[in-house]
Amino acid sequence: MLIRRCAVLLLEPREETQFHLEQLLRGGDGLVRTLRCMALAPHLEAPIELDQEASAWLATLSPNVWIRLEPGSHQEELALPLVQAGLLVSKDDDDSDLARRDTRLRTVYWHPLAAVMHAFSRWDGVDAVRNMQESETETAEQMRQTLGEPPPEAKVMSLKGASTVLPEVDGNAFDALLSRRVTCRNFDPMRPVPLNMFAQMLQRTFGSRTRFKVGEDLVFLKKNVPSGGGLHPIEAYLVVQNVEGLDPGLYHYRGDTHELERLPSDVAIDRDFVMELVGQQHWFADAHVLVVLAPRFERTFWKYRQHAKSYRVVAMEAGHLSQTLYLAATDAGLGAFITAAINEKHAERALKLDTIAEGVLAVCGFGWRAGSMTTTELDPAGVIWHPAPA
C-alpha cells in the first residue's frame, strides 16, 4: 500500500477535566484530568483522538512523499484506520470523499493554522441564547457577577504631562449619521422593505462601481469597501423575508452586475431555518433581510498563498462590509445588525458551499425597526429610542 499524510494536520495534546466524587472523598481536589491527543485536520468534520503510537508515527510522515507499506506489516495495520479516518491518504483509494477533500485543500493555499482555526470554530446546532443563560452571562449585571472584575473600558497610559486634550470639533450630518447607528434587535415584521430601498442597500454595501481587466482573465472590481489585494472575496447570500415584490427565500447578490439570483433550496427557508442560522437569537429572526457573509477564500489565497495574514485580511473585510451595511441602513432609516454567533455549517449546507474553498464568517441583516423595544439595544443617549423633540 502506498500512503502519504493528509496535507494539514495539527496534533493537540488536550486536557479534559471531570469532577469525580470518589476522588474528592479520597482526599483529592475532586478533579480527574485526562490528557488526550487530538488530530485536527481541516478537511475532516471533527477532531480525531489518537493513541500515542499513531500520533508519534503520523508526526514522522510526509504529506508529499508517498511511502510503501509492506503487506501484512505492523505499519500497514497501523495505517488502515488512519486511512479510513482521512488522516492518511492511500494511493489506491485517492478517489474517496476524504481523499478528494484533502486534494482540494492542497489547491486552495490555506495557511495551515488558519485552515485549522476556521474548520474547528464553525458551529452546528448551537443555541447561543441557552449557552448565555447556562453560563449566567445574559445581562451586564450577571456578567459582572459571574466573570469578576473586567479589564478597564479604556487604556490609561499614566504618562504625566504627556497628554494633550484635543479640540472638540462641531459635528455635521456624517456625525449625526454615525450617532444614529445602533445595533437593531427589534424589527417590525408588519412593514415590508420597499424594493428600491433593498436594492440601494445592496448596491451601496456589496455593489461594484467599476470593473477593470488586466490581461485575459484578471478582473478587479472597485467597490465602496476596501479589500486586501482588491480581490473582494466575500459573497453576499441573502435570506429575504420581507421585501416588497420579492418571494421570501434564498438569493445570491451579484455585486458585479447588481443582480439577484434566486437559489434553489432543499430545505424550507422558514423561521426555524433563520433561528438556527442566528444561533437561536430570536431578536434577529424577524429582520427583513439577513445577509450571510461568505468568503471565497480561494480568491484571496490565490494571491496570498499560505500567507500568515490572509485569513485575517478576509475576516477584517467582513467588518468593513458590516459597517458599510450599518451606515447604509441608518441613512435609509432602517436598523441593522451583525452577529458572529451563527451556525455556519447550517448555512454551508443550505448554500451548498464547497467548504474547503468557501465559508461563512458572519451574518448581517437589516429592516424596519419596531415601534417599541422588546430586546435591549445599546442606546444610552436615547438617540433612537427617546430622540429629543425637534
Ligand X SMILES: Cc1cc2nc3c(=O)[nH]c(=O)nc-3n(C[C@H](O)[C@H](O)[C@H](O)COP(=O)(O)O)c2cc1C
State the Rg of the chain over Cα: 25
Name the residue type at position 306.
Q
The DSSP symbol for 91 reads G
Kindly tell me which of 47 and 359 has the beta carbon lying closer to ligand X: 359
Looking only at residues 181 through 240 of this chain, which bind ligand X when binding is defined by CB under 6 A?
A: 182-183, 185
The set of cell numbers assigned to 166 is 484635543
By CB under 6 A, which span of 18-26, 187-195, 231-239, 337-345 interacts with ligand X? Answer: 337-345
Numbers of helices and strands, H then E, in the chain: 14, 14
Alpha-helix runs per DSSP H in 26-148? 52-58, 74-85, 97-108, 112-119, 128-134, 140-147
Kindly tell me which of 325 and 353 has the beta carbon lying closer to ligand X: 325
Give the Cα separation of 231 and 71 in Å (integer): 49
Burial classification of residue 345, based on how many CB atoms lie within 10 Å of its CB (0-12 exposed, 13-18 middle, 19 or more buried) = middle
In sequence order, what are the residues at sequence separation of 6 or more whose Cβ sits closer than 8 angstroms to the Cβ of residue 354? Answer: 104
By CB under 6 A, which span of 152-160, 233-241, 266-274, 335-343 interacts with ligand X? Answer: 335-343
Q: CB of residue 384 vs ligand X: minimum separation in angstroms?
A: 9
Name the residue among 288, 274, 316 with its Cα closest to residue 201.
288
Give the Cα separation of 237 and 364 in Å (integer): 10
Return the sign of the alpha-carbon dihedral for residues 244, 246, 250, 252: negative
Q: CB of residue 5 vs ligand X: minimum separation in angstroms?
A: 35
The set of cell numbers assigned to 308 is 500568515
Counting residues that bind ligand X (by CB under 6 A) gives: 9
340 binds ligand X (CB under 6 A): yes
Kindly tell me which of 88 and 362 has the beta carbon lying closer to ligand X: 362
Residue given cell 476524504 in the structure block: 98
Kindly tell me which of 4 and 180 has the beta carbon lying closer to ligand X: 180
- Would you state the torsion angle of the CA atoms of residues 132, 135, 136, 142, taken in this order, to the nearest 10 degrees? -90
By CB under 6 A, which span of 215-223, 286-294, 301-309, 338-346 interacts with ligand X? Answer: 338-346
By CB under 6 A, which span of 33-41, 291-299, 334-342, 353-361 interacts with ligand X? Answer: 334-342
Looking only at residues 93 through 122 of this chain, which bind ligand X when binding is defined by CB under 6 A?
A: none
- Near ligand X by CB under 6 A: residue from 338, 350, 360, 364: 338
Kindly tell me which of 228 and 279 has the beta carbon lying closer to ligand X: 279
* Bridge partner list, 18: 32
Kindly tell me which of 339 and 355 has the beta carbon lying closer to ligand X: 339
Return the sign of the alpha-carbon dihedral for residues 48, 51, 53, 59: positive
Looking only at residues 123 through 182 of this chain, which bind ligand X when binding is defined by CB under 6 A?
A: 182
By CB under 6 A, which span of 58-66, 153-161, 285-293, 336-344 interacts with ligand X? Answer: 336-344
Q: CB of residue 322 vs ligand X: minimum separation in angstroms?
A: 7
Q: CB of residue 382 vs ligand X: minimum separation in angstroms?
A: 13
Kindly tell me which of 103 and 183 has the beta carbon lying closer to ligand X: 183
Q: CB of residue 338 vs ligand X: minimum separation in angstroms?
A: 5
Looking only at residues 246 through 305 of this chain, which bind ligand X when binding is defined by CB under 6 A?
A: 281
The DSSP secondary structure of 119-157, one letter per residue, reads HTT--SS--HHHHHHHTT-SSHHHHHHHH-SPPPSS---
* Bridge partner list, 33: 17
Kindly tell me which of 31 and 381 has the beta carbon lying closer to ligand X: 381
Kindly tell me which of 86 and 233 has the beta carbon lying closer to ligand X: 233
Kindly tell me which of 154 and 378 has the beta carbon lying closer to ligand X: 378
Residue given cell 439570483 in the structure block: 261
Burial classification of residue 252, based on how many CB atoms lie within 10 Å of its CB (0-12 exposed, 13-18 middle, 19 or more buried) = middle
Q: CB of residue 251 vs ligand X: minimum separation in angstroms?
A: 23
Q: CB of residue 146 vs ligand X: minimum separation in angstroms?
A: 18
- Near ligand X by CB under 6 A: residue from 242, 300, 339, 343: 339
Query: What is the contact surface with ligand X in residues (CB under 6 A)?
Result: 182-183, 185, 281, 338-341, 378
